[in-house]
Structure 1
């Protein structure tokens, strides 16, 4: 069960004000400030893709590296490992939120390079400190927070930069490639990282993860497509309006608002499923660890297949139907999990649930990313992405804690059944009554 989501109208600017205009009933694409032409953007996209692949594969190799280091190197307790994750999510969201307006007013590429270098230094500090025997739990908390805040800032700048670099007609293909890369990295990285940890120690994958950010930064430095001038609203700023502009923009747009609530429900339910699935499969159903690993592998393959289906589906069905089909599909299949018995049939049901859910999620993510990119103008792209990401970072721990408490009071099977019902309800939050431009 892996990654969830990423990347929404025109905005007028006047000195000293952020103003969200009335949204028309037909949702047209936001105008492009710069429309790349010729082969230059294609060369730059290849470099951008290569940088993305480097950091994604590095992060996949280092998947769960910090909790592993906490347990194997520092002997951290269960509570400390959980606290590490919760602190990183909440504190990084609070730290990154004010960066949205600042990123909006600056060139995006330097922000991306800077956050890559910051992650290179932060992640790389862990194996260095461990080598010299000075690594502490609180350093891990700081590194986790800095790494996640930098990721939020990078994504906020990166989506805006990609929007100005890739012509609108090619954005769906670009987002599809990124999605395929994510799922390919998820299929290969964690297993390979686990082997490396067993051979060379708990911090080795963090070295690879750190170097991948350096490779990404150096690759991004080679981009040649000129960014349009960043948006500016004059010397006067109102901090509250600046910070909340992303949410106000989302809620002023019917299609984005519907997808925003849908994404919160989906992301919260899926993140809550992750720890429950391990308990349910390994303890309640009694499956072996290799069978649990097989389920994860099948999920990653499903994500790759789903991302590859987006282009032919868009050609045949159009953007609206593809988005709705994938949105419904990814919410349907979680209900198979609580039906699974402790037998071969149960393993098949679990694998089918994971495969179908991730298949449609792999179809949905690039379709949604393209839609949000097309209906958001340059003056709000970074803050819309930041608002979206921060909202998920806040909501997901609530879902995880609530599902965990329910499982403790009843059972993992019951908690999974409740999450499946909530996820089905999320289908009603899709933009059924709004037109989506093809």
Structure 2
């Protein structure tokens, strides 16, 4: 066996450990999907505005905490950051069932847990993207991203229904304990990766704290391909997250879903996401990466409008599941294609800061949208707020990169598109 073959085998084995860690944490998070607002509604009986406030405060505070850390993580090895983020999420989530068992759980604690969880997730995402780019060859990245996306959607298809059954049997906080344990196993899986990390990018001179904080945004907004995708992501993600806590209220309070119906409505549509992720590579070969981004960027936008009209009774879950399935099918195709392009289009020396800037932008736009959604719901009702979110979702299609995408950094964009057709794809965590 050649040294090249040995190196490839090492990458595959280490990727197996990384993928295993991701699968465990994805499964745990899927079981706990929507758990914080569910606990807020069922255990603490908070108002509709407080449900939106919980998600909004968590994201905004997490963005403020994470922003100054992106530059520091950029110039450090990524694996220890990933492990620390997993352990932090484990402890934060575990505090909720413990507090509930002691009878001292409060809305303030849920907000604090949401902040810690969101901040740790952002740091893990930024570090893991840079880590993955150093581990997986360019030609494997689209198939890698597709496989991670498939794992995510398959977990989400089975996890929420199981979580709903666990909540029905054992109470609203049990799924948070499962999620916490999954992050502990994820940290162990990352720790078992043996291949040494490449040297982190060296800091070029002393650019100053302010410039270092803004480096990710400067790169994104100065790149003709990433800039429209960034603004599209802000509007689309904001609209989706604006509707997310409101849909929880709609299902539980207006449509009177039981916990198992709630879990089914969250989980079953994710099979559409898994199918979409599996179709990304063949569709990209047939249509090209730019057409895939445009076509499925548009096809994911209209479905929130249908959710606003979901009727009560037996037809309600059918409408919710059908609309969500088609939304996630389109998103399942779009997401790996976008992830692959962003990795290829971003220089290694700014990868972590670009992902951090993207996450901070999302975690700012999304909670502001949630607050707007909560305010609109307080005045006009939950369905009106979901309808507004649906209109914004459709409008996001106007911000897609309708002009041809430029080659990625260093000319890697075209090369990456060609290399995606090669074999030996391994999953990516974005």
The TM-score range, normalised by the shorter chain, is 0.7 to 0.9
Cα-to-partner distance string for 1:54-80 (whole Å, 9 max, x where unaligned):
111111222233344455556656555
Aligned-partner SS, 1:39: helix
Q: How big is the shift at 1:347?
A: 6.6
Please list every run of 5 or more consecutive structure 2 residues that lacks an aligned counterpart in the other structure: 1-5, 407-413, 418-430
Matched, 1:187 2:154: no
CA contact (8 A) 1:254 1:434 kept: no
Distance 2:308 2:45 in 1: 34
Alignment partner, residue 90 of structure 1: 60
Matched, 1:141 2:133: no
Q: Measured at CA, do residues 277 and 203 of structure 1 come closer, stay the same or move farther in structure 2, by a change above 3 Å?
A: closer
Distance 1:116 1:339 in 2: 39
Distance 1:165 1:123 in 2: 30
Instruction: Please say which of residues 412-421 and 114-123 is displaced more in the overlay.
Output: 412-421
Alignment partner, residue 419 of structure 1: 389
Aligned-partner SS, 2:401: coil
Alignment partner, residue 172 of structure 1: 142
Q: How big is the shift at 1:330?
A: 0.9
Q: How big is the shift at 1:399?
A: 2.0
Matched, 1:368 2:334: no
Distance 1:239 1:61 in 2: 40
TM-score by length of 1: 0.83
Distance 2:88 2:251 in 1: 38
Distance 1:425 1:400 in 2: 17
Matched, 1:306 2:276: yes
Alignment root-mean-square deviation, CA: 2.8
Q: Normalized per residue, which structure has more helix?
A: 2
Aligned-partner SS, 1:380: helix
Aligned 1:38-187 pairs, distance under 5 A = 38-70=8-40, 80-133=50-103, 135-187=105-157
Distance 1:56 1:421 in 2: 30
Instruction: Please say which of residues 321-330 and 416-425 is displaced more in the overlay.
Output: 416-425
Q: How big is the shift at 1:37?
A: 4.8
Distance 1:353 1:71 in 2: 24
Distance 2:248 2:28 in 1: 24
Q: Measured at CA, do residues 65 and 418 of structure 1 come closer, stay the same or move farther in structure 2, by a change above 3 Å?
A: closer
TM-score by length of 2: 0.84
Q: Measured at CA, do residues 135 and 422 of structure 1 come closer, stay the same or move farther in structure 2, by a change above 3 Å?
A: closer
Q: Measured at CA, do residues 375 and 85 of structure 1 come closer, stay the same or move farther in structure 2, by a change above 3 Å?
A: same
Q: Measured at CA, do residues 146 and 292 of structure 1 come closer, stay the same or move farther in structure 2, by a change above 3 Å?
A: closer
Q: Measured at CA, do residues 58 and 339 of structure 1 come closer, stay the same or move farther in structure 2, by a change above 3 Å?
A: closer
Instruction: Please say which of residues 221-230 and 70-79 is displaced more in the overlay.
Output: 70-79
Q: Measured at CA, do residues 78 and 157 of structure 1 come closer, stay the same or move farther in structure 2, by a change above 3 Å?
A: same
Matched, 1:389 2:359: yes
Q: How big is the shift at 1:339?
A: 6.1
Q: How many residues align?
A: 402
Q: How big is the shift at 1:348?
A: 5.7
Q: Measured at CA, do residues 177 and 206 of structure 1 come closer, stay the same or move farther in structure 2, by a change above 3 Å?
A: same
Q: Measured at CA, do residues 231 and 409 of structure 1 come closer, stay the same or move farther in structure 2, by a change above 3 Å?
A: same
Distance 1:281 1:129 in 2: 27
Alignment partner, residue 226 of structure 1: 196
Distance 1:291 1:192 in 2: 11
Matched, 1:400 2:397: no
Q: Measured at CA, do residues 70 and 403 of structure 1 come closer, stay the same or move farther in structure 2, by a change above 3 Å?
A: closer
Cα-to-partner distance string for 1:229-280 (whole Å, 9 max, x where unaligned):
1112256341111111110000110110000011111111111222444555
Q: How big is the shift at 1:115?
A: 1.2
Aligned-partner SS, 2:196: coil
Cα-to-partner distance string for 1:90-112 (whole Å, 9 max, x where unaligned):
11110011110000010011111
Aligned-partner SS, 2:348: coil
Q: How big is the shift at 1:361?
A: 0.6
Q: How big is the shift at 1:311?
A: 1.7
Q: Measured at CA, do residues 49 and 419 of structure 1 come closer, stay the same or move farther in structure 2, by a change above 3 Å?
A: same
Cα-to-partner distance string for 1:106-136 (whole Å, 9 max, x where unaligned):
0011111111122222222333444455555
Q: How big is the shift at 1:405?
A: 3.4
Distance 1:72 1:333 in 2: 27
Alignment partner, residue 300 of structure 2: 330
Q: How big is the shift at 1:410?
A: 3.9
Aligned-partner SS, 2:301: helix
Q: How big is the shift at 1:426?
A: 1.7
Distance 2:139 2:220 in 1: 23
Structure 2 counterpart of 1:245, from 209, 215, 220: 215
Cα-to-partner distance string for 1:272-317 (whole Å, 9 max, x where unaligned):
2224445556777x57557665543442121111111112112222
